[in-house]
Amino acid sequence: MNKHTSKKHGLWTIMKPVMLEIRLAMVLSAIGSLSLIASLLILSLTLTNIMQGTPLELFNIKLDLINTIILLAILTAIAFLSRFYAFVVSHLGAFRLEQILRTKLTQHLAEIPLGYIISNGSGSLKKVIQNDVRNLHTFVADSIPMLAKSIVAPITTLIILFIIDYRLALASICILLLGWLAMAYAMRDSKELRDKYDQSQSDINKAVIEFAQAMPVVRTFDDGTSSFKRYNSALYAYKENLTNWMKISAVPAKLGMIILSPLPTLLTVLFIGILLLNSGSLELFALICALFLSTGMADAMMPIMWLQNFIKKSQASALKIQELLDVPTLPISKNAKIPTTFELEFKNVFFKYENVEENYALKNINFKIESGSVTALVGPSGAGKSTIAKLIPRFWDASKGEICIGEINIKNIEPHVLMNTVSFVFQDTFLFQDTIYNNIKIANENASKEEVIEAAKAAQIHDFIESLPNAYETKAGDRGTNLSGGQKQRITIARAILRDTPIVVLDEATAFADPENEEEIVKALANLTINKTVIMIAHRLSTIKNADQIVVFDQGEISEIGKHEKLLENKGIYKKLWENYEQASQWNLEKGKTNE
């Protein structure tokens, strides 16, 4: 079922799974702030009584100095422990939120069209899954307790100040307002600057990934200067955006921080308090209490300034995460069916890529592949052959028309059933940084060790694996860097053999093989395709001469269908491709031309 539904977006919505931890952390932080304020009130009362030589009395209970110290120590301990456990709870919630979001994102990525992932690139997706989720983790872990403190402490302090003496309260508010205005101006949100900042971060991620993946090419053809230009440009853009932002906010931010530091508030309250005290309209307790509380209020409000900017940054991250989660998943029919036969048919299929208004990549595709037969897809580069193959497992959905397996529309087949029906061997192999054994077994987690070995034998790779120091427990390396192209290809064929699906798609499976490996790969493919429905995409036309059916594509349309001999007689595109292939196969490196 398509999970794309209308949802509320925003920071607090996406943090809903950990709202219990957030609320508890805020309550604990609030208790800590109230305990600290209470201790300041008692300390003010104690100092007043000491200066005036009167006994300390609290709620009609007389306290000596030792009891007062004990009470202050208890309140301080409560404040410390509450603050400590507020951060413990918020960090636990942050880690749980991080786990929930990354799990949810990765599961969602597995269900959305592959086309979205390809078109957006790994850099932007990495930013969402890593950076944006980390931003929310940091916000919950570090900012939630501070946010509670920054709300509860100033409000409570202000109420007490108004109760004690409204004039001192107003003096404190005036200083805070000046600092607030300066900081608000410094931290005003600029959507344009923020968007540029986020885009430059994404560009850096893309450039780094691209440079790392292309390292062999970079070292072969240049010293990294030209190939790393995109990364340098992204860094420069990042620096410029950040510098511009800092220039705009630097002066008012410094002014606001000076005003909101305890000293200006302390001097103002002290000056006005002394005047009022000398005039007899203010008590000593009120002045001492106001001096303690007003500076604490300024200190408590300071985090609000940078929290405001951090909240906006976290809000932007939450929206990016929600945007990815809102990408529609491939729709699944409620009346799912399981195919019992495995002929494959394309019926009036049209396809165009997302955000492309015109220019269909595939147009009016109609052909049928009989169960147990071999069909080859050929044509010039960009003709649509690989796109056809990737529509079968629903990496994308056809824009129009139907693709049927056993007369069942693939949209009516559940994804796990479809993936157990079709297996792939691509020209671009991918091995995980794990053991060779696990790289094969990933095709069937329930397979026994004997079945994995039998698949490797059928793929003509068992003897090579056994020759390695650790045999099947040898690490393949990052993307299989410890293995040759032909060896990696045979391991992926072993995967497909272990998967044992009735339909097999071979996309240029021998494209990068050397002569020795090609012979082994051909033997492996022969074992893979026994009694299977096979779709083969190949530029080496000699490998598909004996196919039961050859479908020739040109500019997204079917140009010809038939067997090898019949297509040569037609003198169409296939004949031209065959002649070009034969001419290329006779090319002589020494002469730089074909042999006469």
Residue indicated by tokens 């996309």 = 507
Backbone phi and psi for residue 58, each to the nearest 5 degrees, phi listed first: -130, 115
Residues 187, 141 share a domain:
yes
295, 325, 355: which is the final residue of a domain?
Answer: 325
Please compute the mean of the pLDDT values over residues 501-514 and round it to a whole number: 70
Please compute the mean of the pLDDT values over residues 490-507 and round it to a whole number: 82
Inform me whether the pLDDT recorded for 1 exceeds 60: no
Question: Residue 451 falls within a domain, yes or no?
Answer: yes
Work out the pLDDT band at 367, boundaries 50, 70, 90.
confident
d(CA 419, CA 417): 5
- Percentage of the chain lying above the pLDDT 70 cut: 75
CATH, residue 590: 3.40.50.300
- Percentage of the chain lying above the pLDDT 90 cut: 4
How many angstroms separate the Cα of 113 from the Cα of each of 55, 116, 350, 412, 427?
77, 6, 17, 16, 21
Report pLDDT for 25. Answer: 92
Residues 316, 455 share a domain:
no
Work out the pLDDT band at 447, boundaries 50, 70, 90.
confident
- Highest averaged pLDDT of the listed ranges 197-211, 238-252, 378-392, 503-517: 378-392
Domain residues for the domain of 538 are 335-421+503-509+533-596
Predicted TM-score (pTM) above 0.85? no
Number of domains in the chain: 3
Please compute the mean of the pLDDT values over residues 9-35 and round it to a whole number: 87
In 3D, which of 523, 487, 483, 529 has the Cα closest to residue 506? 529
Please compute the mean of the pLDDT values over residues 21-36 and round it to a whole number: 90
pLDDT in tens, 279-309: 888 788 788 888 877 776 666 666 666 676 6
Give the long-range contacts of residues 239-243, CB within 8 A, separation 24 or more.
241/193, 241/196, 241/197, 241/200, 242/197
Residues 556, 409 share a domain:
yes
Angle at CA 148, nearest 5°, toward 145 and 153? 120
- Highest averaged pLDDT of the listed ranges 207-211, 256-260, 475-479: 475-479
271, 305, 325: which is the final residue of a domain?
Answer: 325
Residues 358, 243 share a domain:
no
Residues 455, 369 share a domain:
no
How many angstroms separate the Cα of 163 from the Cα of each of 38, 44, 111, 160, 395?
15, 15, 60, 5, 68
Residues 431, 412 share a domain:
no
Please compute the mean of the pLDDT values over residues 400-424 and round it to a whole number: 83
Question: Residue 96 falls within a domain, yes or no?
Answer: yes
CATH, residue 154: 1.20.1560.10
Inform me whether the pLDDT recorded for 189 exceeds 60: no
Question: Residue 38 falls within a domain, yes or no?
Answer: yes
pLDDT in tens, 77-129: 998 999 899 999 999 999 999 899 988 888 888 777 776 776 666 667 777 88
Question: Residue 305 falls within a domain, yes or no?
Answer: yes
Residues 487, 353 share a domain:
no
Residues 368, 487 share a domain:
no
Report pLDDT for 355. Answer: 63
d(CA 176, CA 242): 28
Inform me whether the pLDDT recorded for 205 exceeds 70: no
pLDDT in tens, 381-409: 777 778 888 888 888 888 888 888 888 88
Please compute the mean of the pLDDT values over residues 362-387 and round it to a whole number: 83
Residues 277, 167 share a domain:
yes
- Highest averaged pLDDT of the listed ranges 248-257, 337-346, 532-541: 337-346
Locate 256 and state its tokens: 């606001």
Q: Which residue has the higher pLDDT, 83 or 189?
A: 83
Inform me whether the pLDDT recorded for 514 exceeds 90: no
Question: Residue 290 falls within a domain, yes or no?
Answer: yes
Backbone phi and psi for residue 208, each to the nearest 5 degrees, phi listed first: -65, -45
Please compute the mean of the pLDDT values over residues 143-161 and round it to a whole number: 84
Residues 374, 440 share a domain:
no
Residues 441, 405 share a domain:
no
Please compute the mean of the pLDDT values over residues 491-499 and round it to a whole number: 82
Residues 219, 200 share a domain:
yes
500, 525, 553: which is the final residue of a domain?
Answer: 500
Report pLDDT for 4. Answer: 44
Average pLDDT, the chain: 77
